[in-house]
Amino acid sequence: MKKQTILFSALGLLSLQVFLFSSCKEEEIPEEPNEEELITTLILEFENTISGEVRTFEFRDTDGPGESEPVDFDTIRLDDNSSYHITVSILNESVSPTDDITVEVAEEGVDHQLFYVTSGGLNLFISYDDEDANGDPIGLHAMAATTDASTGTTTVTLKHQPDIKDGNILTGDTDVEVIFVTEVE
Amino acid sequence: MRKIWVFIFSIIVLQFHVAAQQQGCNLQIGGRVTDKEHEALLSYATVYILELQTGAVCDDNALFAIGELCAGNYTLLISHLGCATDTVNIQLEKSVFLEFELNHQDSVLEAIQVHVSMETYKGTLTTDYLEGKALEAIAGKSLGNALKDMNGLNTIQTGNSISKPVIHGLHSNRILIMNNGVRQEGQQWGNEHGPEIDPFIADNITVIKGAAGVKYGSDAMGGVILVNPAPLIDTGGTRGAVQIAGFSNTKGGAASAYIQSHYSPFVWRLQGTLKAEGTAQTPDYYLANTAYHEANGSAAVKYHKNDFETELYYSYFHNTIGIFSASHIGNLTDLENAFVSDTPYIAGNFTYDIGRPYQLINHHLVKSVSHYHNDKFGNIYLTAAWQNNIRKEYDTHVPLDDSIAALGLPSLYFEIGTITTELEWKHHKKIIFSGSVGLSGMNQQNITRYSTFIPNFKNYSGGIYALETYQLNDWSLEAGLRYDYKWTKAFFYDEGELQTPEHQYSALSWNIGSTYFDRNHTTFNINFSSAWRAPAMNELYSDGLHHGAAALEYGDPGLLQERSYQLITGFEYETPKTYIEIGAYNNYMQNFIYLQPVLPPALTIRGAFPVFEYQQTNANIFGIDATAHYHITEPFMVETKFSMLRARDLENDVWVVMMPADKLTGKVHYIFKSFGKIENLDAGVAVVHVFKQNRTYAEADYLPAPEVYTLTSLSIGSDIKCKHHSISWSLEAENLFNVAYRDYLNRFQIFCR
């Protein structure tokens, strides 16, 4: 009987020990979440090839997908019967200093392509004006031409196509997809 | 609809036993001894197994039970005061309940075997199990797929390599998986997170269908899956087995082996599994990046002396899962493209290599269990276990910055460590009560890296319970009560500020049930129970983009604990020719947590994303499972199964989505006579008919539910007995007619049409 009592106590103590021991760990504070590579901002700069006038249209969501709504989401307004030179900037403004992702896209041009898709009825016509190392378009520079006044949308899509770049918008990962309301007036 | 993804084709399973006595050592012989002449119960009769030199004494009701027996031939000696001892030889293949009728006058003994397993006889909840031949037949399959043929069970799948078991419509945080007696703790909240368990470790897999919260604690609302290795028994010499399975669709294979021996007072076992599969295919194309690799191992040693035994167990699970490239969507446009496309827009080739996206998972388990037996007090068990689960998910998206990309970091990293302790006292029968009392504790810590979707957190929980059974003749009554407490603290940054909210939850679980077990082939059980669970971390604090799912999900820190009230009844009738089982259940869920779609979709730089919020409602799940077997002649058997369930969101008056469709199964098989060394040659045809899930609603599902489908499979297998070992083999052709189908619970269904 005495032997049993000792054994029971030992078992009880052991279980208590295991539980207490396991409770005494240091609390874990998470690392500041900064590892994520975020794209927050897309800037389209339209330079009129005749007048030299520059208009910029922006999509800016500084806290990334979710949470608060985008702070800037411009409508593209262009003159009719004009031509423009487009320059694209892609930024991460959630970090300081701002990370210019445009540089990385240009450096890895063989793995990236921007696509411009306009809705039917919109008299805006966009063509590529740059090349990667293989002679394929990247789309960071493009030419735009307008005819008669019209409205519609312009969808700007950045595709990441590592080793699979084939000029197809369906291939690869979508890094950017913004649908701008567009007015030619 | 023509090009639909299918699972095709044969699975070949070959098993090879090195030594005899390989089968499960967890069988039981139970029974009753009566006086044939006077029809009286013979209390205190003794039943002794000659080979094992062990036995049992019948109780007041002339009932006895002997457990932890290996399959094999035994000589039973049955004796009673004033009678000569008699002997009966039995061949034990499964747990049996035997009726012994002792004739006092001339001591002629008869044994009548009643085909009711002890498992059914014991509890008041409905259980189902896989062991022996049925378990061999699923060799190489994942745990979820292994169980989906059980009535009332389904799987949520992400392709062919990730599957999660669903019991009566509930899964993930609402069911428990006990891996060798320890509750499995990983990232079980995710639909694309499969259980990190090697089914090859199991000697039997038991499924409790219903809220078993009293014994197993909170979260066991839908049921419990017990993956049990064979007990370490110091009899039978050195033994081992090798199992090999092959799959034609993925040109894959799995091999598992174990060896067990003893050196008194120690018994040990080593076990290991390797599995590799290549790209899966449909009749028309390969599913890009669906290869799968797995490597597992376990080691156990037991010390046994007199009334004390202690066991140390370690297991390691590792797998790398290629995620079908087209299913890992970047945004809603990708998803819409997938809907309208006839074939996935990423073409695949056959390979065993895995590229991005993929998951890499490691799970370690160390367990120590000690058992002390005392004739006066009963049995005491002390279990302590440590688990560490690391899940790394690699996105298709390689960082643009080369210096970051070069680090090869995962897009998502979860590490969860869990310590569980449990003290259980199974007391001896006092008068007519038997039961157990227990204490349990858990301590858990989660670390998330490279993403803020789930915060870091700590959990402490503890529980105390008592479960008693009252046995009277053919009736047993069971009642249990449990109290659980859970404390949790999350750590995350909100706009640069560290937040550390705490939550506390506590509640009672209870159950009351009864089983009627009639010697004339009938069993009836009824159980009324209540179980609960605390909201999981993803439900409280999910914040933003769900990796790979192109959806924004938001948790609610104010969620209340979820509670289930369940009524379960079962009826069983068995004769040598006929077997009928009908089960019905109704599960009322209070504060049922679900993902509610919220409009409008969120505007992001990657396009519009659907938004979901965790909300609570009251829901009711009602269902019926029915099984019938009939032997037309002794070797020729027909079998049919039917299961249905209806899940209703009572507050919003809509159906609960992601619930399994109704299913009807028919099976015919024939067992041939032994010839030469070939025994148990068994050939069968099975037809599974899955109805269309009409009970959905458009806002919650991306696509209408897939159409009804019927699959036919063929199987054949036998044992080949040699002198010192036996080989058993089986060959199964699944989806014999290459029927193109989509399953509602398969997340791939929208990408492969």
**pLDDT per residue as tens digits for the range B174-213:** 999 999 999 999 999 888 899 999 999 998 899 999 888 8
Q: Do A176 and B404 touch (CB under 8 A)?
A: no
Q: B273-287: string of b/e by CB count within 10 Å (b at 16+)?
A: bebbbbbbbbeeebb
B689 strand-pairing partners: B664, B710
pLDDT band, very low/low/confident/very high, at A31 (cuts 50, 70, 90)? low
Q: For residues B675 and B389, which has the higher predicted lDDT (pLDDT)?
A: B389
Q: For residues A13 and B490, which has the higher predicted lDDT (pLDDT)?
A: B490
pLDDT band, very low/low/confident/very high, at B69 (cuts 50, 70, 90)? confident
The CA distance from B77 to B154, in Å, is 44
B141-168 average pLDDT score: 88
The CA distance from B454 to B440, in Å, is 26
Q: Do B606 and A175 touch (CB under 8 A)?
A: yes
In B301-345, which residue ranges form alpha helices assigned H by DSSP? 332-340
Q: Which residues of A touch B496 (CB under 8 A)?
A: 32
Q: For residues B685 and B82, which has the higher predicted lDDT (pLDDT)?
A: B685
> ipTM score here?
0.83
Distances (CA, A) of B328 to A158, A160, A169, B481, B616: 17, 14, 16, 45, 28
B50-64, B96-110, B414-428: which is most confident: B414-428
Which residue from B minimizes the CA distance to A7?
A: B372
* A69 → closest Cβ in B374, B445, B603: B603
Q: Do B377 and A4 touch (CB under 8 A)?
A: yes
Mapped onto helix, strand or coil, the DSSP state of residue A105 is: helix
Distance from CA of B411 to the nearest CA of A (A): 8
The confidence score (pLDDT) of residue B4 equals 30
The CA distance from B56 to B78, in Å, is 10
Q: Do A31 and B449 touch (CB under 8 A)?
A: yes
**pLDDT per residue as tens digits for the range A87-117:** 999 999 988 888 899 998 999 899 999 999 9
Q: For residues B590 and B131, which has the higher predicted lDDT (pLDDT)?
A: B590
Q: Is the dihedral angle over the CA atoms B602, B604, B610, B613 positive or is it negative? A: negative
pLDDT band, very low/low/confident/very high, at B329 (cuts 50, 70, 90)? low
The confidence score (pLDDT) of residue A136 equals 95
Which amino acid does the sequence have at B355? G
Q: Is the dihedral angle over the CA atoms B581, B227, B714, B575 positive or is it negative? A: negative
The confidence score (pLDDT) of residue B113 equals 37
The CA distance from B346 to B289, in Å, is 10
The CA distance from B533 to B507, in Å, is 9
Triad B652, B656, B662: Cα angle to 5°:
140
Q: For residues B433 and B143, which has the higher predicted lDDT (pLDDT)?
A: B143
Q: For residues B226 and B431, which has the higher predicted lDDT (pLDDT)?
A: B226
The CA distance from B723 to B161, in Å, is 38
Q: CATH 2.40.170.20: which residues of chain B?
A: 11-17+226-750
* A33 → closest Cβ in B370, B382, B452: B452
% of chain B at pLDDT higher than 90: 40
The confidence score (pLDDT) of residue A15 equals 59
B278-305 average pLDDT score: 89
Q: Do A160 and B401 touch (CB under 8 A)?
A: no
B114-136 average pLDDT score: 64
The CA distance from A172 to B551, in Å, is 19
Which residues lie closer than 8 Å to B612 by C-beta, 6 or more apart? B551, B552, B553, B554, B595, B596, B597, B598
Q: Which residues of A touch B404 (CB under 8 A)?
A: 35, 37
The CA distance from B580 to B625, in Å, is 11
Classify residue B251 as left (phi > 0), alpha (psi -120 to 50) or beta.
left
Strand order from edge to edge, sheet including B54-57: B54-57, B46-49, B72-79, B86-92
Q: Which two three-digit tokens encode residue B50?
A: 């000659």
Lowest mean per-residue pLDDT among A70-79, B60-69, B76-85 = B76-85
The confidence score (pLDDT) of residue B161 equals 76
* A28 → closest Cβ in B334, B443, B456: B456
CB B317 within 8 A of CB B374: no
Which residue from B minimizes the CA distance to A91?
A: B605
Q: Which residues of B touch A4 (CB under 8 A)?
A: 374, 377
Q: What does A79-110 look like in DSSP terms, one character per residue?
A: -TT-EEEEEEEEEETTSSSPEEHHHHHHHTGG
The confidence score (pLDDT) of residue B519 equals 66
B55-59 average pLDDT score: 79
Mean pLDDT value across chain B: 83
Lowest mean per-residue pLDDT among B188-192, B309-313, B588-592, B720-724 = B720-724
Q: Do A11 and B374 touch (CB under 8 A)?
A: no
Distance from CA of B615 to the nearest CA of A (A): 18
Which residue from B minimizes the CA distance to A111?
A: B400
* Bond preceding residue B265 cis, omega within 30 of 0: yes
Distance from CA of A101 to the nearest CA of B (A): 8
- Quick one: DSSP state of residue B748? G
Q: Is the dihedral angle over the CA atoms B213, B217, B223, B226 positive or is it negative? A: negative
B620 strand-pairing partners: B588, B648
User: If we measure between CA atoms, which residue out of A107, A143, A83 comes closest to residue B403?
Assistant: A107
Distances (CA, A) of B610 to A161, B42, B324, B393, B596: 25, 70, 22, 22, 11
* B337 → closest Cβ in A40, A170, A178: A170
Neighbours of B632 (CB within 10 A): 11
- Quick one: DSSP state of residue B287? B
* B604 → closest Cβ in A29, A65, A162: A65
Distances (CA, A) of B251 to B226, B361, B717: 30, 23, 21
B433-455 average pLDDT score: 88
Q: What does B153-216 look like in DSSP terms, one character per residue?
A: EEEEEETTTEEEEEETTB-GGGEEEEETTEE--SSTT-TT------GGG-SEEEEEES--HHHH
B298 strand-pairing partners: B271, B315
Lowest mean per-residue pLDDT among B40-44, B349-353, B493-497, B671-675 = B40-44
CB B661 within 8 A of CB B691: yes
The confidence score (pLDDT) of residue B575 equals 85
pLDDT over threshold 50, residue B116? no
The confidence score (pLDDT) of residue B123 equals 64
Q: Do A19 and B441 touch (CB under 8 A)?
A: yes
Q: For residues B514 and B740, which has the higher predicted lDDT (pLDDT)?
A: B514
Q: CATH 2.60.40.1120: which residues of chain B?
A: 27-120
Q: Which residues of A touch B485 (CB under 8 A)?
A: none
Q: Do A59 and B604 touch (CB under 8 A)?
A: no
pLDDT band, very low/low/confident/very high, at B111 (cuts 50, 70, 90)? very low
**pLDDT per residue as tens digits for the range B565-622:** 999 999 999 888 899 999 999 999 999 999 888 878 888 888 888 888 999 999 999 9
- For the purposes of burial, counting CB atoms within 10 Å of the CB of A185, is it exposed (0-12), middle (13-18) or buried (19 or more)? exposed
Q: For residues B18 and B233, which has the higher predicted lDDT (pLDDT)?
A: B233
Q: Do A11 and B380 touch (CB under 8 A)?
A: yes
Length of chain A: 185
The confidence score (pLDDT) of residue B316 equals 97
The CA distance from A41 to A71, in Å, is 10
Q: Do A104 and B400 touch (CB under 8 A)?
A: yes
* B605 → closest Cβ in A31, A173, A176: A176
Q: Which two three-digit tokens encode residue B438?
A: 């227990």
CB B155 within 8 A of CB B174: no
The confidence score (pLDDT) of residue B72 equals 73
pLDDT band, very low/low/confident/very high, at B363 (cuts 50, 70, 90)? very high
Q: Which two three-digit tokens encode residue B408?
A: 């090869």
Q: Do A108 and B400 touch (CB under 8 A)?
A: yes
* A19 → closest Cβ in B398, B421, B447: B421
Lowest mean per-residue pLDDT among B48-57, B471-480, B562-571 = B48-57
In B529-646, which residue ranges form alpha helices assigned H by DSSP? 537-541
The CA distance from A111 to A164, in Å, is 7
**pLDDT per residue as tens digits for the range B207-258:** 999 888 898 998 999 999 999 998 887 666 787 888 888 888 888 889 999 9
The CA distance from B40 to B709, in Å, is 55
Mapped onto helix, strand or coil, the DSSP state of residue A117 is: strand
A22-43 average pLDDT score: 64
The confidence score (pLDDT) of residue B129 equals 83
In B23-137, which residue ranges form alpha helices assigned H by DSSP? 118-122, 132-137
The confidence score (pLDDT) of residue A32 equals 55
The confidence score (pLDDT) of residue B743 equals 84
pLDDT band, very low/low/confident/very high, at B120 (cuts 50, 70, 90)? very low
Mapped onto helix, strand or coil, the DSSP state of residue A14 is: helix
pLDDT band, very low/low/confident/very high, at B16 (cuts 50, 70, 90)? very low
**pLDDT per residue as tens digits for the range B369-378:** 998 888 778 8
The confidence score (pLDDT) of residue B131 equals 82
Q: Is the dihedral angle over the CA atoms B48, B49, B53, B59 positive or is it negative? A: negative
Distance from CA of A51 to the nearest CA of B (A): 31
Q: Which residues of B touch A162 (CB under 8 A)?
A: 398
The CA distance from B69 to A147, in Å, is 88
The confidence score (pLDDT) of residue B438 equals 93
The CA distance from B332 to B346, in Å, is 17
Q: Do B543 and A66 touch (CB under 8 A)?
A: yes
Best interface-test mutation with B: which of A28, A95, A155, A161 has the largest number of B CBs within 10 A? A28
User: If we measure between CA atoms, which residue out of B165, B388, B128, B140 comes closest to residue B245?
Assistant: B140
A65-74, B390-399, B458-467: which is most confident: B458-467
Mapped onto helix, strand or coil, the DSSP state of residue A166 is: coil
Q: For residues A70 and A9, which has the higher predicted lDDT (pLDDT)?
A: A70
* A29 → closest Cβ in B397, B498, B544: B498
Q: Do B330 and A170 touch (CB under 8 A)?
A: no
Distances (CA, A) of A69 to A57, A178, B608: 17, 14, 12
Token pair 């921007």: residue:
A114
Which amino acid does the sequence have at B674? S
CB B185 within 8 A of CB B238: no
B256 strand-pairing partners: B243, B273
* A37 → closest Cβ in B400, B489, B604: B400
Counting Cα atoms < 13 Å in the Cβ hemisphere of B525 gives 26
Distances (CA, A) of B678 to B22, B558, B732: 18, 63, 18
Q: Which residues of B touch A64 (CB under 8 A)?
A: 544, 604-605
Distances (CA, A) of B150 to A152, B190, B695, B745: 56, 23, 22, 16
| CATH (one of 2.40.170.20, 2.60.40.1180, 3.30.110.30, 1.10.287.1080) for B11-17+226-750 | 2.40.170.20
Q: For residues A129 and B23, which has the higher predicted lDDT (pLDDT)?
A: A129
CATH architecture of B27-120: Sandwich (2.60)
Q: Which two three-digit tokens encode residue B210?
A: 């219903």
CB A30 within 8 A of CB B447: yes
Which residue from B minimizes the CA distance to A67?
A: B544
pLDDT band, very low/low/confident/very high, at B315 (cuts 50, 70, 90)? very high
pLDDT over threshold 50, residue B15? no
